[in-house]
Structure 1
Amino acid sequence: MDLNGISGLLDANETCALFLSTKNASPQFESMIFYDVEAYIYAYTPEDIGVALVQIAEYSKRGFWVAGYITYEAGYGFEHRFLSHITTSIDPLIMFVAYKKACMIRDDTTSILHWLNFVSQQKQYSLSALKKTLTYEKYSEDIQSIHRYIANGDVYQINYTFPYSFKCEGDTFALFAELHLKQPVSFSAYISDHSRTVMSLSPELFFSVTDGKIITKPMKGTIARGRNCINDNYQAEELRTSVKNRAENIMIVDLLRNDLGKICKTGSVVTSKLFDVEKYKRLMQMTSTVHGSLVENVSVKDIFSSIFPSGSVTGAPKIRAMEIIHDLEVVPRGIYTGSIGYVLPDSLMMFNVAIRTIVVDNATRSASMGIGSGIVADSLPDDEYLECELKAESLLAGISVTSLFETILFEDNDFYLIDYHIDRLLDSAQYFDIPLTRSAVVSYLNNLKNELRKNCSYRIRIIVDQWGCITSESRDYHSDDGAKDIIISAVATSSNDIFLFHKTTHRSLYNKEYAHYSGKGYFDVIYLNENKYITEGAISNIFILKNDVYYTPPVECGLLAGTYRRYLLEKSTLKTREKLLRVDDVSDADGVFMCNSVRKLTRINRVYADDGSLIYDAQMKSRDEK
């Protein structure tokens, strides 16, 4: 079955389970779809849980492909003292389906992403009424309670969670497709039946079993992405060396080693990797890898009863942590922090930790997703709450990069500052996980160069889409050396906006305002950030001249490191410096200049505030000096 066939199966609204892996990891889900139902396997009561797990194994041994989910609350069924925690519900504790057929998706990752992109553009969905179900006051109160439990020696850590709720109208697979495009992961799942749809964008492996070997990769420790690749490295090192995050990670590693010891041969449980940092679109997460050799005849029931739920979503010690979670969290977690996966006829098993997971009621269109973080003794409520918001934003927003581009001057039969342009393009490509090599760019430019007329100047726009495909646009260029006026925008930018540090087609504000103000005769429009520091223009970087030194804002203010800006700072004979600049610095400047690699350094005649008042006038400055 090809990808179009899978689309048809999904469109038919038949019960099916799709698993996708589009981010390299080892191990990872096989990209495959299960369909054609033989039987449903449900557990609604504690007594049903063991029976359901035995049925999963039996159907697998009979040659069926079994896939589904086990909820967090099912974990109470593995501990006698917790049986009273399981309340009657219309939702199952366990839901698996034995399928007659399964199809491996043999297409490469790029083809799968192209398919998802096509689906997301052809079908529509909408999200609305997003809200937290927990106030900050209640959250802070519960964190203080957890701190008391830790101080009293009950636990070392609690993974505290709460849900978001929202409405999801339209095509749920279109939502899944777009989310997967924005944040490729190794353990995503889309499971749909007539009553509900489950979409999991999990980056975390709970466990895999192959040839008698079991592997688990607990994920603990989160930090936001940097603004570029260099800053990413600093962020990764900060996460890797964070005392708090290392303590959280090692606690869960020890817990899982203990859990695996119940079902593995003595001495076989090993931590093969510790404190690995994995990069995702909006954040980085720290993982470790633990594996062991299973004892003979271990069953699906044995595995889940010994290690479920994952220690990464409970805390340590696990049993006491689960008691505290039950007392504090007012809403059942359901599928969130449970596990989604499959058991194949050859006994291969693969299950994720069901984080970054959305559940949609197909009848009411109400949806929910859980968010949480690990709380230890020195956790601060503000920081943890922000981490939860970052995770929610990561799930529903992601980062969608339409294309990267570079605007290059071609003159004297060559591309101006071409090494700087290629450096910046490759840095952004690496940052956004776009497959691109220097040789590919150079080869494309060499071919393009042969198509251009000799001894002519061109403004070249090189475009690289998210698949690494390169295209270009060219037009004749004639310089304009006349004096220019610029205006300050009334809209503040954010120094935390990642897109400001990369040249992408995600620039609607800049495009809209440049079109508006250039139509009024302005050369460019410049921006202030949230702290009222000057950043850049829509198409240029800014320099001001004061006492024979040319000053430009540092990149940290929220701006693109322009190639001509780089040239001026690194190679020019002019005295140049980076400096925080405010509007008063422009008013007091001896000269104001805008620059980019096409127009180079352009002297500005007048600078206007957003209300039209004059801030700087070069002619008046000249007369005053005389």
Structure 2
Amino acid sequence: MGKMSAAAPLTDKELKVLLEALQGEDSFVFLETTRATSEDRRSLLFAHEVDRLVCGVEDSPFDFLAKASSYLAKGYYLAGWFSYEFGYFLEDKLRSLSAAIEPKFSLAELGVFRRPYIYDHVANSFLGEAWPVANEEPAAADYTLGNIRLNQQHDDYILKINEIKKFIEAGDTYQVNYTLKLLFDFSGSVDALYRTLRRNQSVSYGAYLKRGERRVLSFSPELFFRKKGDTCWVKPMKGTGVRGRNRQEDSLLAGFLRNDIKNRSENVMIVDLLRNDLGRLSRMGSVEVTSLFDVEPYETLYQMTSSIKGELRDGVTLAEIFKAIFPCGSVTGAPKIRTMEIIRQLELESRGIYTGGIGYLSPEGDAVFNVPIRTVVLDGGHGEMGLGSGIVYDSDPEKEWEECKLKGRFLTNPSPVFQLIETLLWLPQAGYWLFDYHLDRLLASAQYFGYPVERHQVIERLAQMSSEVSALSEIGQTGYRVRLLLHKDGQLEVTATACLPPLVKCLPTIDDGPVDDLPRIVLSNQRTDSSSLFLYHKTTCRQLFDRQREQAVQDGFVEVVFCNEKGEVTEGSITNIFARKGDVLYTPPLTSGLLAGVFRQYLLAGCPGSAGNDEEKIKVKESVLTIDDLKNADALYVGNSVRGLVRVSF
């Protein structure tokens, strides 16, 4: 197994070792990028605090920011967080909202550090001094979540959403970002929780913060602001859409979100708000929207973002920046001040770090802060995660309630660990059969799931294995079944097992031999769900197929065939299925819920490059099939790119 040279996150093993090495630290700030871009290609680790700045409800936020600026002027870095409620103290009109905040509540905390440890995801190494880690991987650890509940009951939530709609109708606000909290008890390894949630959400602005018993785990895809020199960027995220099950569906749904009037209008509303906020800091005429309605794919959904840039006036202070733009308008609504008053009136408790800001400030004048959504706070065996949605006049309260619960599944129902698979047939003198089909399918799934890999890297790794099996095949002149695994962190794992070449690698004839003693297939008693994402991509998440196949083989069958929830035939556990009627070979369409098998694609394309008279070939077509269609077929076949086409019977 080898680490890829492309920009990739830390592997799970590397992260586990790094976090183990941080066990002795009472406090640290780890700003991690698991979705590397040209702007966000580095992760920063801040440790060995020189000092810590804390702003409480009795303190002046401007004195706090002035002290932070004094440390920056001395060459120190600062890293930490600002609570959403910090914004109350920056605006005179909002100070009255602070009355309900507990006296011990921290509004902001920034650690003071000499420098960060910098990990570059293109170089796949630390730049300069690396954080010292042990050579051995630590023992496995786990965690438990218990007593999971929302801090608000359904009926009260519906009531509050309807109150918001009355405020909108009265003209007080146009949009309100209303939030509640998921509360839970926690025991076990915080590091294990971080690694699990990190696996489910690849983001450019992740963070893991520790101070004493308190931990903050943030998996935010949203940039609040980036400052480099005198240029400041903001990138509000407003607009959400579902992902498709495959590349074609995905493209259609991305286009729908990009052109959806409701999502565009909500996005523009926040863009206008942030343009105004940034304009308070910038030189006349320098604020520009550099991109509008960008659709970004994440593991389970699409997010719509827009980007705004401004050139800051000379001498703009840190306090002026925060006063102008904090908190981010995407997590308040518009207009900001009146909407924040409505939020304080309706929400049940303080938001805290959720929807505030997490990031760092450098002595060179640079800064990057996220908007802490999808953020977990743990303290003393208890945990919380904020959940919210943007409410407009035509919002459906029940749908908003369901959306909030769905967002909570990020914590309570994390996705399983899985790798992408390709299984290729290697033959002496010929090499890999249907190589381009395999490569295209792998890269399409890698792009869909955000697995960092480049075409040339897969080719090079498979070429290396080809050389190895070529030397072995000279002895036995056999074929090889080559299995490639692509891990989420970009690692490739390739193994090979000797196998016999397939007897049939092309289309059958109408008179294709005797029907006695054909290998038999059996129908599974388990239905598949055609909406399941994993049916459309070849992954290791195939427990049902493996379990059913094992039982079928034990019972003397060569394959087990599945039907979906509508009774439509889909596929076998490791093959696609084909039913011949006359001179047409029918195979189920992808919409029934099945893998686009490489051999299936080859047959549908008419076996390009194969020998034989094209006029004699059977036609291959997609068609919804039932069990009766299989029973009444002139001939049945199962096939894949390693076994070829095999005639079977029920």
Residues 120, 178 of structure 1: 8 Å contact kept: no
Residue among 492, 495, 501 paired with 1:472:
495
In structure 1, how many angstroms separate the alpha carbons of the residues matched to 2:250 and 2:572?
Answer: 25
Amino acid across the alignment from 1:323:
E
In structure 2, how many angstroms separate the alpha carbons of the residues matched to 1:146 and 1:586?
Answer: 56
CA shift for structure 1 position 243: 1.1
Residues 97, 341 of structure 2: 8 Å contact kept: no
Are 2:380 and 1:376 aligned? no
Residues 17, 137 of structure 2: 8 Å contact kept: no
Amino acid across the alignment from 2:279:
G
Residue among 410, 427, 432 paired with 2:444:
427
- In structure 1, the residue corresponding to 2:525 is in which secondary structure? coil
Partner of 1:292: 310
Partner of 1:611: none
Q: Deviations over 1:464-515 (max 9, x none)?
A: 3322424121222266995233333333322232222111222222222211
- In structure 1, the residue corresponding to 2:60 is in which secondary structure? helix
Residues 120, 175 of structure 1: 8 Å contact kept: no
Q: Write the mapping of 1:147-546 to structure 2, written as runs, cut at 5 A.
A: 147-361=165-379, 363=380, 365-394=381-410, 402-411=418-427, 413-414=429-430, 415-432=432-449, 433-438=451-456, 439-440=459-460, 443-444=463-464, 446-448=466-468, 450-453=470-473, 456-466=477-487, 467-477=490-500, 482-546=517-581
Are 2:11 and 1:11 aligned? no
Q: 1:592 to 1:379 in 2, by over 3 A?
A: farther
In structure 2, how many angstroms separate the alpha carbons of the residues matched to 1:120 and 1:163?
Answer: 33
Residues 409, 457 of structure 1: 8 Å contact kept: no
In structure 2, how many angstroms separate the alpha carbons of the residues matched to 1:483 and 1:128?
Answer: 54
In structure 2, how many angstroms separate the alpha carbons of the residues matched to 1:156 and 1:109?
Answer: 46
Q: 1:129 to 1:521 in 2, by over 3 A?
A: farther
CA shift for structure 1 position 31: 1.8
Partner of 1:125: 143
Amino acid across the alignment from 1:220:
K
Residues 101, 350 of structure 2: 8 Å contact kept: no
**What CA RMSD, in Å, does the superposition of the two structures yield over aligned residues?**
3.0
CA shift for structure 1 position 542: 2.0
Residues 426, 437 of structure 1: 8 Å contact kept: yes
| TM score, norm. by length of structure 1 | 0.87
Gaps of 5+ in 2: 1-13, 127-132, 504-514, 608-616
Are 2:40 and 1:28 aligned? yes
In structure 2, how many angstroms separate the alpha carbons of the residues matched to 1:569 and 1:444?
Answer: 31
In structure 1, how many angstroms separate the alpha carbons of the residues matched to 2:331 and 2:291?
Answer: 20
Residues 41, 122 of structure 2: 8 Å contact kept: no
Amino acid across the alignment from 2:175:
Q
Q: 1:121 to 1:21 in 2, by over 3 A?
A: farther
Amino acid across the alignment from 1:463:
L
- In structure 2, the residue corresponding to 1:199 is in which secondary structure? strand
- In structure 1, the residue corresponding to 2:420 is in which secondary structure? strand
Residues 293, 304 of structure 2: 8 Å contact kept: yes
- In structure 2, the residue corresponding to 1:499 is in which secondary structure? helix
Q: 1:349 to 1:396 in 2, by over 3 A?
A: farther
In structure 2, how many angstroms separate the alpha carbons of the residues matched to 1:219 and 1:513?
Answer: 43
Partner of 1:64: 76
In structure 2, how many angstroms separate the alpha carbons of the residues matched to 1:101 and 1:5?
Answer: 21
Q: 1:216 to 1:478 in 2, by over 3 A?
A: closer
Residues 427, 480 of structure 2: 8 Å contact kept: no
- In structure 2, the residue corresponding to 1:550 is in which secondary structure? strand
CA shift for structure 1 position 137: 4.1
CA shift for structure 1 position 540: 1.3
Amino acid across the alignment from 2:33:
S
Residues 291, 307 of structure 2: 8 Å contact kept: yes
Q: Write the mapping of 1:511-590 to structure 2, written as runs, cut at 5 A.
A: 511-546=546-581, 549-571=584-606, 573-590=617-634
Are 2:603 and 1:603 aligned? no
Residues 606, 619 of structure 2: 8 Å contact kept: no
In structure 2, how many angstroms separate the alpha carbons of the residues matched to 1:4 and 1:545?
Answer: 53
Amino acid across the alignment from 1:472:
T
Partner of 1:615: none
Q: 1:526 to 1:151 in 2, by over 3 A?
A: farther
Which stretch shows the higher mean deviation, 570-579 or 326-335? 570-579
Which stretch shows the higher mean deviation, 6-15 or 269-278? 6-15
Q: 1:593 to 1:25 in 2, by over 3 A?
A: same
Partner of 1:610: none
Residues 541, 596 of structure 1: 8 Å contact kept: yes
Gaps of 5+ in 1: 607-626
Are 2:126 and 1:103 aligned? no
In structure 1, how many angstroms separate the alpha carbons of the residues matched to 2:427 and 2:262?
Answer: 54
CA shift for structure 1 position 436: 3.2
Q: Deviations over 1:189-244 (max 9, x none)?
A: 11101131001111111112221211111111122222233333222222211111
In structure 1, how many angstroms separate the alpha carbons of the residues matched to 2:309 and 2:271?
Answer: 11
In structure 2, how many angstroms separate the alpha carbons of the residues matched to 1:34 and 1:423?
Answer: 41
